[in-house]
Chain A
Amino acid sequence: MKFPIYMDYHATTPLDARVLDAMMPFLTNKFGNAASRNHAFGWEAEEAVEKARKQIATLIGANAKEIVITSGATESNNLAIKGVAEMYAERGNHIITAATEHKATLDTCKRLEKHGYRITYLPVLASGLIDMDMLRESITDKTILISLMYANNEIGVIQPVREIGKLAKEKGVLFHTDAVQAVGKVPVNVIDDNIDLLSISGHKLYGPKGVGALYVRRKSPRVQLTAQIDGGGHERGMRSGTLNVPGIVGLGEACELCRKEMASESVRLAGLRDKLKAKLEGALDEVYINGSMESRLPHNLNISFAFVEGESLLMGINDVAVSSGSACTSATLEPSYVLKALGAGDDIAHSSIRFGLGRFTTDEEVDYVAQKVISVVQHLRELSPLYEMFKEGVDLSKVQWTAH
C-alpha cells in the first residue's frame, strides 16, 4: 500500500495515465491554435478538439455541437445561470435552486439577487432530496430556470433528475443541472432526463484541472445564453478565449474512459463502499449515515461518528486523505451547510467524515482505512465527555451548555 491513502475523490481525482498519454502530444509538438484556419497546426488542433467534443457529448447522450468548453464547472455554472438570467430577463426574473447546491451555484444566485432577480432556495428533506411538491409549488409564471445538482459533492445524494426535468418541461422552465459529481460515475442522459443545461468538470472524472464543459441544448427547446466572457467569439459566441487544446483532449479522453468503464467501476466501488460502511457500523455504536443511502453515488459515504469531533478524527488518521464537515476544517469556521440543511443538528456536522472512493481505491486500502478509523474513534471516545455522558444515560439535548 502507498501512503497517504487518497479517499477524497469528490474533491478531485488523479489524472488517469491514459488521459495523460492522449494529452501529451498537445502539450508538446501539436501546439496549434484551434482557431487557426489556414495551416496544418490549426487544423490538427481543431480536429482534436472536435473529437473530444464528440467524446464528451457521447457520455451524456448529447450532440457535439451542444458542448461549450469552459475552464471548469464553476465557470459552467456561472455561464448557465447568469447566461439564462440575462438572456431571458424579459420573460421572468425568478430562479429556483436548493440550499445544498455547490457554492458555484449559490453564490452566482446571490449575485443575481443583488441585480433584482428573485431566487428560491429550496430546503431539502432529511434524506438530502428535494421535495418534488415543493418544487412544483415554487414555480411561478416568472420562473425562467431551475438549477438543481445531479449529485451532491458532500453526501453523494442523487436528486430525482428525471422527474425534475419532466416537470420543468411541462412548465416551460429551463432546467440546469450541476452534474460534476455524477457524470462518468452513473449513467446521465440529457434526452431521457430532459436536461437543458449541464455542467461538467474535467478534474472530477480523472481528467485535467482547469477544463470543463457546459451542455447547452440545441433543440426542443433551443437554449440561448448571454455570453459572460467577451472576445473572439469562440464556442459559438458563448465563451470566448483560445481553446485549451491539451485540456480539452484530456477531458474528451477521460469521458470516453468513463463511458467504457463506468458500469464495472460503479459496481466495484459500491461493493467497497458497502464494505467500509459495514465494517464501521459493525465495530462502532452511534454512527449515522448522512443522506439517503438509496439514492446515492456508488462511491460516496458520508458518516458521522457521534461524540467525536471531525478534525480530531482527521488528525488521528493522518495517513488517510478524507474530508470532514466539521467547522474546524473549513475556512469559514462554520460546519458544513449541506449537513446543516439535512436538519440533523450542528453536532452531527461536526462529527462527519466524507469518504470518496475512486478508480484507484483498492480492497486493501478500504480494510486499512476501516481499521484505522475504528481505532481512532474508539480512542477519541475514551476522551469524550459526551460519550461518557451518553453511556451514563444523560440526554445530551437536555443539558444546559455554555455556548461560546
Chain B
Amino acid sequence: MAYSDKVLDHYSNPRNVGSMDKNDPNVGTGMVGAPECGDVMKLQVKVNPDTGIIEDAKFKTFGCGSAIASSSLATEMLKGKTVDEALAIKNTEIVNELALPPVKIHCSVLAEDAIKAAITNYKEKTAKEQAAVTL
C-alpha cells in the first residue's frame, strides 16, 4: 500500500510523543483499542484550569503507520483548543488531512475516540475535584 506524504511525515517525525503524569489533576488521559486488534492509542491533554484551553497534548500509539499518524495529528489539532472544541473534532477531519484510504478510516475513528476519552477523563477529574471542594 502506498502512504500519503503526510502519513509518512507523521510516521517519521511524530509530533508530541510522550507521557504526562496521569495523576496531575489538569491532565486527562484516554486509552483506546486493544493489542489483539492491532492498535492501542494513549492520548493525554493538559488543560489550563482557568481558561479551559488545552495547553499540551501527548500521545503514544501501538499500531500501523496510519494509526500513528492519526494520533500524532490529533495532538497537533488539540493544542490551543478549548475542551469543548476538542470534543467537536471529527474523524473525517483526520481522514481528509492525512488522505487516509478507506481501509484506514478506523485509525481516524480510534483517534477521535482517544480524544473523547482523554477529555472525558479530564472532565471527570475536575468534577470530582469540585465535588471535593464543595464538601
- Give the B-binding residues of A (Cβ under 8 A): 307-309, 311-312, 315-316, 326-328, 333, 335, 345-347, 350, 382-388, 396, 401-404
Contact = CB atoms under 8 A, between A and B. Distances in A.
Nearest to B107: A328
22 contacts: A309-B63, A311-B64, A312-B65, A312-B68, A315-B11, A327-B37, A327-B38, A335-B38, A346-B36, A346-B38, A350-B36, A384-B62, A385-B31, A386-B35, A386-B62, A388-B42, A396-B35, A402-B34, A403-B34, A403-B37, A404-B110, A404-B113
A91 B70 CA distance: 59
A385 B20 CA distance: 12
Contacts of B14: 383
A277 B46 CA distance: 42
Contacts of B67: 309, 312
Interface of B: 3, 8, 11, 14, 17, 19, 31-42, 60-65, 67-68, 103, 106, 109-110, 113
Given A345-B36, A401-B35, A404-B110, A385 B64 contact: no
Given A385-B31, A403-B33, 8 more contacts: A309-B63, A326-B64, A350-B38, A388-B42, A388-B60, A401-B36, A401-B40, A403-B36
Contacts of A309: 38-39, 62-64, 67
Given A327-B38, A385-B40, A386-B40, A401 B33 contact: yes
* Majority secondary structure, A binding face: helix
Given A328-B38, A385-B40, A402 B33 contact: yes
B61 A333 contact: no
Contacts of A382: 17
Nearest to B17: A383
B45 to A, nearest CB: 15
Contacts of A328: 38, 64
A333 B61 CA distance: 19
A308 B36 contact: no
A350 B42 CA distance: 18
B43 to A, nearest CB: 9
Contacts of A346: 35-38
A307 B67 CA distance: 14
A318 to B, nearest CB: 9
B36 A383 contact: no
Residue of A316, A328, A384, A385 most packed against chain B (CB within 10 A) = A385
B60 A385 contact: yes
Nearest to B14: A383
A312 B63 contact: yes
Given A382-B17, A385-B31, A404 B37 contact: yes
Q: Which of A307, A315, A345, A388: most chain B CB closer than 10 A?
A: A315
The 3 closest A-B pairs by CB, nearest first: A401-B34, A385-B42, A346-B36
